[in-house]
Structures are given as structure tokens and as C-alpha cells.
Structure 1
Amino acid sequence: MARQELAARGLASMTIRQVARSVGVDPGTIRHYFPSKDDLVHAAAGADIELSEVYDQIAAELSDQSGEGVGDALIAAALRYLCEEESALAAVAVCLTGGDYESTVFGLFDRDVVTPLARDLASGDSQERSALVMSAFLGFQLLATLLPALQHTLRDEDVQAILAESIERHLRAG
């Protein structure tokens, strides 16, 4: 429910009281588990998955150190783990309202999957490369959030066709 409130209201407007009201509990109950609004937001926008396993799976799928196919593998993982509707909307809301990107599902995916892949595949600044990749993911999710018809029109294969080549180029460039 906190994810829905965060997505609907944004970080600045969401309150613990509103979240408590929406689930029918006393605000003190929420504060017992989440002492601050930041704690609640981090839990709401965070990942419910073990991302090191995602990195290991993608790295194992790559045929060699050239990284050929990394764009497709990364998009497939992103579609599985980043685009779960409530987490993605909460993460977009956090990012748009100046919240803590590192604690969102996008920030965690960046830290635990994209940056290590960038480090493995190319010389140069892996953080710069991962920032390019994550801006593509976040931009696409923002577009899908603002244009819901887009979300229902595009298939996963369409998203891969749109993003995979540029993501692979960002990760593999030397």
C-alpha cells in the first residue's frame, strides 16, 4: 500500500498517516516498523529480489568476454525485475521528487547488476556506463508511467528491440 501511496502522491506529499489510513491501521503501528518516512519509502521503493543472483545469471549467459548479447539479457532481466508495476512507479516517484535513487529498485539494480557488468565488459568509467544504461531504463519507465497506453501496447520483445542495442553499446564500448 505504501508503494501505491508513493506512486499516487509522490514523495513530498505522501505521509505515514495516509498510508496507515489506507490499510486501516493506526499510524503508530506503521511507525513501529518504519520509524521515519524515509524508512517507509526505502522499503516501498526497494527491491524484493536478490540482485547478485541476477548478475550471476546474466554473466553466465554471456558467451564470452566480448559481451555480445548483454543488451538482450539485461533488458530481459530488467523487464522481470524493474517493471513490476508498483515498485517501478514508486521508484519513478522517488527519483522525480529528488528522493534517494540508490535505495530504489532501480538504484539497487544499477549497483548490483549493471555497474558490475559494465566493469566486466569495458575499460573506462563503469559508473558512467551504468548511468547511461539506467537512464535508458528509467526514461522508458517514466514514459510508460506517463502514457499508460504505451505499457499495454508494447510487448517485451518491442522493448528489447528498442533498448537492447543502445544498452549493449553503452556497456561494451571501450
Structure 2
Amino acid sequence: MSGPPSIRHATKEDVPTILGFIRAGAAATSCADRVKATESSLEATLIFGEPGSSQTPQSGFARTLLLIAPEGETAGMAVYYYNYSTWLAQPGVFLEELYVSPDYRRRGYAKLLIRELAKQARKVSGGKLEWVCLRDNATALKLYESLGAKRMEDWVTLRVDGEALDNLLDEK
């Protein structure tokens, strides 16, 4: 195979690759022990196929774009979902996970995936593309800022999970 890389939405057959990328990304940031995803949990929570296609099931929460290198190998992925801005009164896209295999880095593949996410936002008349990045991931932050991303310093990310989520539900 030759020519430019291609990007497509994942199918159920891609789940082992997606899980491998998730694990590799977590390991690269010393967070491997925090990955709880399994192939079956990904199959139950991801949406497969192109948005709006008859193959797309109504259940699921997130979609995955896969970047296929000219050599035919799956080189990277972007897991995303649609969100909403009350201030803009518009939908948007939230990038949950971006990963490019080390052998395929420095080829512009991360930028291609992010550009495709921008296209997905515009397809739904979206007004934003957002994501979070670990503060100490200087390489990624430099890339994102080179693409025009701005740090949202005024906003604080908050999370309730695990035992704290259970405790919140148990409060009377």
C-alpha cells in the first residue's frame, strides 16, 4: 500500500487494537495500572461505524477514529464523543484519547486525527473541540498549542469516581 494515510471509524473487529492503544498510552504516562477497560467493556460502550450510517447502533457513548498508515498498519487512534455548550448553544466534540504508535510519530498523524475531529464537530454544526492533557506531558502540550489549542486556565477539571461516586449515591 502506498499513498497518504487514511482515517476511518472503528468496527467491532478493531476493539483489540483500540485496547492495545489505550494500554500503551497509559503505560507511556506511567498509568498502566489505572486501565480497567476490557475488550467486552469497549464493545459495550463504543459506537461503531460512521455517524449517521445504518450500521451505527443507537447504544454506546464514544466513537473511535483509526489512522491507517500507507504501509497498511493501524498507526493511531482518537476516541471521541459529542458534548454540548450551553454558552454557545452548540454541540461540540470532546477528544477522550489520542494515541499514535511510537514508530509512526513525527509524521503529522496526531494532527491529521485532530483535524478529522474538527471535521466531525463541523458536521454537527459544532462550535468547539476540547480535550484534556496531563500537565507534565510537555511534548503533547507543545503539539496541541502549535495547532491553535489554548489552555483553559480559568477552568478546573473535577471528577467524582470510584468510592467517592458510590458515597455520593449513598448519601441521604
TM-score by length of structure 2 reads 0.29
TM-score by length of structure 1 reads 0.29
Q: Which has the higher helix share?
A: 1
Q: Which has the higher strand share?
A: 2
Q: Taking CA–CA contacts closer than 8 Å with sequence separation of 6 or more, which of the two structures ends up with the larger relative contact order?
A: 1
